[in-house]
């Protein structure tokens, strides 16, 4: 099953990239092209972050182990789209003009936290292969708990850039809180079990 | 103009429009353009004409709008305002005046002829357009009443109609939309009431039937679908000031040196350009400094943002 599912999901995860690449190549980006690419890649980064965070709770709730096999791939796609998002901002929006970018990172809290989220994704992407799991052993899990912080940063990034209280960032916030709560309950559950035995 | 991305059926009116403009520029005159039941004025330009920047394609000026009454997405106003009814429409001018009046839009249009003004339009979000508006100086309308000595400011209130404006069913802003100007700003010859654009009647998504345009201020100052103009003594609190006082000030003059908490205002993206086009530098007072800088003599524009 995994053999068929995994490549299928890989291709599905590429669809947002194919869409935006098509729009760039064929000039289909509308009135404000840079913003369109920035929003598209940013939205998909957030979606993949939340999807990757959803795999463990899904495993716990459904008691099906297979979910875990997609966690790494979804996380790497989050990194992929996050990097495209960052490159759009640096390359297309500011044309590699670093003065205003540094100014933004230091002075605009939504850009600061967005950039921080991307930086936190770096060690996770670097240590994502099987070799690293074996090398890092216990520490691997600790490092990869950063994914929750990345989720919080990414949602804050979206909330802070919104002009007023909008529907969309709130949806992401609710999903994030739900996922975090599910994790907390599970940890508590494990903890209780241990203390009993 | 780079028009290759449009179907020929889409570009014809605009293309015709731009050619006509070029012809008129050569002749050294700019006139208003005829449309139904409207007086037309033929006069020389009475403001700094736009020569540096290209006119934004009609398609973008009418499909990429911030008009939260019809939804918070840029494409919402165009989609959701199609059936918005703008006839009949009355505008009341009252407050600190000796003779308050109520006029219909038709009466106003018949009384005051519209002329064409090609203005830069700079949104606080960091993008800009160049739009050929049709309209008349607001002072011509305000002169119909006699303000009392108490009057210091002018407050604009937009329509409240959640049945027709579905964005107003949500508390995105404190409806109805409110804006304000100092009296001297409101009386300034560059401040216009808009009745149309690109030689056509004003589309609903652009603020029909009557909206304000204050070209040296960020776009949100230019209230749409106005129903009430009130002379007041105290500085009005606009809807955006109410929503976020540290982000939106009363003056909101275009100013590249005063950064918004979320957007640097030093540069802007030009609407309708392709993805490889760089940002352009934002100009103080959106390029209208010669005409309006005097209004703010001695004021700290960092404080009065």
pLDDT tens column, B134-184? 999 999 999 999 999 999 999 999 999 999 999 999 988 999 999 999 999
Q: Which span out of A173-187, B147-161, B251-265 was modeled with the highest average pLDDT?
A: B147-161
CB contact under 8 A, B261 and A104: no
Yes or no: say if A140 and A127 are a contact pair by the CB < 8 Å rule.
yes
CA distance A45 to A37: 12
Amino acid A162: pLDDT: 87
Shortest distance between the Cα of B274 and any Cα of chain A, in A, equals 6
Q: How many helices (H) and strands (E) does chain B have?
A: 8, 14
Residues of B in contact with A105 (CB under 8 A): none
- The reported pLDDT for the residue numbered A186 is 61
- Domain range holding B140? 8-296
- Verify whether the Cβ–Cβ distance B264 to A104 is below 8 Å: yes
Span between the terminal Cα atoms of chain B, in Å: 35
The token duo for A20 is 């935006």
- The tokens for B155 are 């407050």
Phi, psi angles (nearest 5°) of residue B244: -160, 80
Q: Which of A28-37, A175-184, B180-189 has the lowest mean pLDDT?
A: A175-184
pLDDT level of residue B249 (50, 70, 90 thresholds): very high
Distance, CA of B33 to CA of A150 (rounded, Å) = 55
Q: Which residues neighbour B105 within 8 Å (Cβ) at sequence distance 6 or greater?
A: B86, B87, B88, B89, B90, B91, B195, B209, B210
User: What is the reported pLDDT for B261?
Assistant: 84
Q: What is the mean pLDDT of residues B202-221?
A: 98
CATH classification at residue B107: 3.90.420.10
B127–A contact, CB cutoff 8 A: yes
Question: Domain count of chain B?
Answer: 1
For the entire predicted model, the pTM comes to: 0.85
Q: Do A103 and B264 touch (CB under 8 A)?
A: yes
Q: Give the pLDDT confidence score for residue B47 in this predicted structure.
A: 62
pLDDT of residue B50: 76
Rounded to the nearest angstrom, the gap between the alpha carbon of residue B93 and the centroid of all alpha carbons in its chain is 19
* Residue bearing tokens 């027709």: B164
Minimal CA–CA distance to B208: which of B299, B121, B134? B134
Within-domain flag for B304 = no
When the pLDDT of each residue in chain B is averaged and rounded to a whole number, the result is: 87
CA distances from B138 to A25, B40, B184, B191 (A): 45, 16, 11, 6
- Report the pLDDT averaged over residues B231-252: 96
**Largest Cα span, chain B:** 57
What is the mean pLDDT of the segment spanning A8-31?
A: 95
Contact B5 A27 (CB under 8 A): yes
């Amino acid at each position: 099953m995994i053999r068929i599912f995994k490549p299928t999901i890989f291709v599905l995860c590429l669809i947002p990239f194919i869409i935006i690449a098509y729009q760039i190549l064929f000039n289909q980006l509308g009135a404000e092209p840079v913003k369109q690419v920035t929003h598209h890649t940013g939205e998909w980064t957030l979606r993949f972050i939340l999807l990757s965070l959803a795999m463990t709770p899904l495993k716990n709730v459904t008691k099906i182990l297979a979910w875990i096999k997609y966690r790494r791939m979804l996380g790497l796609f989050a990194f992929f789209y996050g990097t495209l998002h960052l490159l759009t901002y640096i390359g297309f929006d500011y044309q590699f003009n670093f003065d205003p970018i540094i100014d933004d990172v230091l002075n605009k809290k939504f850009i600061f936290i967005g950039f921080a989220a991307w930086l936190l994704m770096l060690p996770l992407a670097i240590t994502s292969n099987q070799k690293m799991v074996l090398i890092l052993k216990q520490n691997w899990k600790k490092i990869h708990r950063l994914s929750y912080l990345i989720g919080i940063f990414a949602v804050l990034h979206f909330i802070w850039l919104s002009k007023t209280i909008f529907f969309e960032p709130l949806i992401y916030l609710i999903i994030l809180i739900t996922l975090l709560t599910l994790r907390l309950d599970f940890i508590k559950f494990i903890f209780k079990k241990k203390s009993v035995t | 103009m780079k028009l290759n991305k449009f179907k020929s059926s889409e570009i014809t009116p605009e293309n015709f429009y731009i050619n006509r403009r070029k012809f008129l520029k050569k002749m050294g005159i700019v006139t208003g353009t005829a449309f139904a039941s409207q007086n037309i004025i033929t006069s020389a330009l009475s403001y700094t004409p736009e020569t540096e920047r290209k006119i934004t394609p009609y398609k973008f000026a009418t499909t990429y709008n911030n008009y939260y009454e019809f939804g918070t997405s840029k494409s919402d106003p165009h989609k959701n305002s199609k059936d918005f009814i703008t006839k009949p429409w009355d505008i009341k001018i009252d407050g600190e005046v000796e003779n308050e009046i109520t006029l219909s839009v038709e009466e106003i249009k018949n009384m005051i002829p519209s002329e064409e003004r090609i203005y830069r339009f700079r949104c606080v979000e960091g993008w800009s357009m160049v739009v050929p508006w049709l309209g008349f100086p607001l002072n011509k309308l305000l002169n119909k009443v006699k303000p009392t000595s108490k009057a210091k400011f002018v407050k604009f209130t937009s329509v409240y109609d959640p049945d027709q404006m579905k964005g107003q069913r949500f508390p995105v802003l404190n409806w109805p939309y409110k804006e304000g100007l100092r009296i001297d700003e409101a009386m300034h010859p560059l401040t216009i009431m808009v009745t149309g654009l690109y030689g056509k009647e004003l589309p609903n998504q652009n603020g029909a039937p009557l909206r304000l345009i204050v070209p040296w201020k960020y776009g949100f100052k230019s209230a749409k679908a106005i129903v009430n103009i009130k002379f007041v003594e105290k500085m009005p609190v606009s809807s955006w000031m109410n929503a976020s006082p540290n982000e939106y000030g009363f003056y909101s003059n275009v100013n590249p040196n005063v950064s918004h908490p979320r957007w640097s205002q030093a540069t802007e993206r030009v609407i309708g350009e392709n993805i490889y086009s760089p940002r352009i530098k934002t100009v103080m007072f959106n390029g209208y400094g010669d005409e309006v800088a005097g209004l703010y003599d001695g004021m700290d524009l960092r404080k009065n943002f």
